[in-house]
Chain A
Amino acid sequence: MAKPERRLGGRRREALWAALALPGIVWLALFFVVPFYVILGVAFGTVDPTFQTPRPTWNPLDWNTQAFDFVIDGLVSRGGVFRHVFLRTLVYVAISVVLSLAIAYPVAYFVARFGGRWKGLLLLGLIAPFFISYLMRMLAWINLLQDDGWVNDVLLWIGILDAPRNWLDGRASSVILGMVYGYVPFMILPLYAFLDRIDRSLLDAARDLGASPLQAFRLVTLPLSVPAILAGCVIIALPMFGDYYTPDLLSGSPKTSLVGNQINLYIRGGQQIPVGAALVIVLMLLLAFLLAYYVFATARAQRRLSG
């Protein structure tokens, strides 16, 4: 799009825009960019021999790789400490994302396509979880999953269980339920926003050309929504990778410990903070890889649609 020519005082205006942006840029530099370097400094730093507090090393030439060696060893050696945790995190996140998509897509599709006069009310129901704290929503499930909670009551009444089951003693199913329950609203809204924008005339055209509604969905709506599906998966997968409170609240057992739990343990347990910082860096590299794949997959999907 052609931009209008610079007006009188264009330079002064540029200066005004830069001045407006400056405080925010300084803030982000100070509290977002610098902190990342501090993670590096701590991860590659040393530990005070008497107080066990980390002593960050700022000069990359003097970096000490002890903490990293420990993390890498825990990742690659057979039976290493971090190997299981990373694998478990990948599996939990993958299952939770797939389940979330299986729930989010039909709901978003229904509200976008068939909401009709109920759309406002339905949207309110989809937005409501955003105003309820994630931790409160986990608290609700702690209440329900207790030994004498309503989940056991219902399962006993139906006859699925013979005796009440302790759902909160380290079950993968409880943690995954919590993650799906916690994050699925964040996937539904972007999917809804996208599906709502799909041009109906494309569907009408498909129908006119003889496609059944299911075929129209499979051949038009679904391929069109691939970028939105990918975006929705990434939006919920990223926070899931850093989650430690869901396993802590709904299981509390080392059997369901995730990468986030390990980071929390090392950083706040106090003894080996550089190891915690090194784990954060490994997690960030993993997520950067994931994001790069997302960008690649989205570009491929767009190419496929346009050509």
Chain B
Amino acid sequence: MTAAAATAETRRALPAARRFRDWWSNPWGKPRFLVFFTLVYLVWSIVPILIAIRFSFNEGRSRSTAQGWSFRWYTEDPDLSVLHDPDLSAALLQSLRLAALAVAITVPLGVALAIGLTRWRGRAASTSRFVSLVPLVTPEIVMGVALLLVFVHVLSFIPLGTPAQAIGHVTFSLAFVLIIVRSRLLSIGPEYEEAAQDLGASPLQALRLALLPLLTPAIVASAIIVFAISMDDFVVSAFLSSGTTTDTVPVRIYSTGRTSPTPALNALATVTLAITLVIAALAFGLWRFVRAARGQTGSAIEEFARVETDPTR
């Protein structure tokens, strides 16, 4: 009691600056510095994007000062808006086309690869596991140069443009699917397939009926990730593009970012961002819906899987 009173006494005697310092950096109190730091970081990370979005609604041609509000650079301008400038709308379509192709090819390929490499115990499996992860540590420029040279000098029957770009996107996103699905597989363990087989299922049936439903969350997650990194990709799309008709949105931003005279580029980036977010949200919502529609069994199985694979059991 007396100690507390003494502390209060000293505190009152302290000068304001010292009191502020104690309040600010008291190691036993709330980490106020960290709160402040994190908030500043979040503002710094998000506000520039919001400002870029705001300029896309400019009425004037400036991309650096606020000039009224309009949809001029989205739809209204007859020549320069995203809707009416053929280069801009083509870039958006190309980005979406490549992302759709990447998801459609990478997810089945990657899920099969992950199941195969996780369960298969041959010596070739460990080598393959290693090789499949190398793309993750390969800078994109290395992969871009490698693919460009291979399509020009060896596999020259694959033309640059959409086919080459799609192959590039699949190649660098495969490792992400592998990692996501593999970690889920390792946490599920082989027991379910073995149980299914004990009950008379063939290996393939066990895979389809026992394993795939359990993998759904990982499959949906990897589809979202593949879509997002394909939309985000710049280097591989740029190296394998065959000209302005196959430029994606990031390539367009790169080639006209410094010279573009109007906010139409900001509008293009904003539309792309909105589409990416909506598709990611839809995929997430769909997954929640499917899980809810399956009812209690679905979540019970997951619960069971979690308990079964709990390392502390």
A interface majority secondary structure = helix
Q: Are A136 and B153 in contact (CB under 8 A)?
A: no
Bound Cα distance A8, B51 (Å): 63
Binary CB contact string for chain A from 126 to 137 against chain B (1 if under 8 A, 0 otherwise): 001111111111
The one of A34, A135, A268, A283 in contact with B150, judged by C-beta atoms closer than 8 angstroms, is A34
Bound Cα distance A283, B137 (Å): 13
Binary CB contact string for chain B from 123 to 165 against chain A (1 if under 8 A, 0 otherwise): 0110010011011011111110111111001110000000000
The one of A133, A139, A260 in contact with B231, judged by C-beta atoms closer than 8 angstroms, is A133
Bound Cα distance A194, B148 (Å): 37
Assess whether B49 is interfacial by the CB under 8 Å rule: yes
Q: Are A140 and B116 in contact (CB under 8 A)?
A: no
Residue of B nearest to A31 (CB): B171
Assess whether B197 is interfacial by the CB under 8 Å rule: yes
- Identify the stretch in A63-71, A72-80, A242-250, A298-306 within 8 Å (CB) of chain B at 4 or more residues: A242-250
Bound Cα distance A240, B55 (Å): 29
Residue of A nearest to B146 (CB): A35
Task: Chain A residues near B194: list those with CB within 8 A.
Answer: 4, 7
Task: Chain B residues near A245: list those with CB within 8 A.
Answer: 234-235, 254
Assess whether B120 is interfacial by the CB under 8 Å rule: yes
Q: Which of A31, A137, A280 has the most CB of B within 10 A?
A: A31
* Interfacial residues of chain B within 221-264, with CB under 8 A of chain A in the complex: 228, 231-232, 234-235, 239, 249-250, 253-254, 257-258
Q: Are A107 and B250 in contact (CB under 8 A)?
A: no
Binary CB contact string for chain A from 262 to 276 against chain B (1 if under 8 A, 0 otherwise): 011001100001001
Given A35-B149, A122-B38, A242-B139, are A185 and B45 also a contact pair (CB < 8 Å)?
A: yes
Given A32-B171, A168-B258, are A280 and B34 also a contact pair (CB < 8 Å)?
A: no
Bound Cα distance A8, B49 (Å): 58
Q: Are A133 and B249 in contact (CB under 8 A)?
A: yes
Given A125-B46, A238-B139, are A146 and B63 also a contact pair (CB < 8 Å)?
A: yes
The one of B31, B134, B150, B276 in contact with A131, judged by C-beta atoms closer than 8 angstroms, is B276
Interface size class of B (residues with CB under 8 A): 35 or more
Given A110-B35, A146-B64, are A139 and B266 also a contact pair (CB < 8 Å)?
A: yes
Count of A interface residues, CB-CB < 8 Å? 95
Q: Are A21 and B139 in contact (CB under 8 A)?
A: no
Bound Cα distance A16, B201 (Å): 14
Q: Are B171 and A27 in contact (CB under 8 A)?
A: yes
Bound Cα distance A285, B138 (Å): 12
Q: Are B141 and A137 in contact (CB under 8 A)?
A: no
Known A106-B37, A114-B35, A238-B138; further 4 A-B contacts with Cβ < 8 A? A18-B124, A38-B149, A134-B250, A141-B48
| Interface pairs (11), CB distance under 8 Å | A20-B112, A23-B109, A31-B170, A35-B149, A133-B231, A133-B250, A137-B49, A139-B265, A242-B140, A252-B258, A283-B141
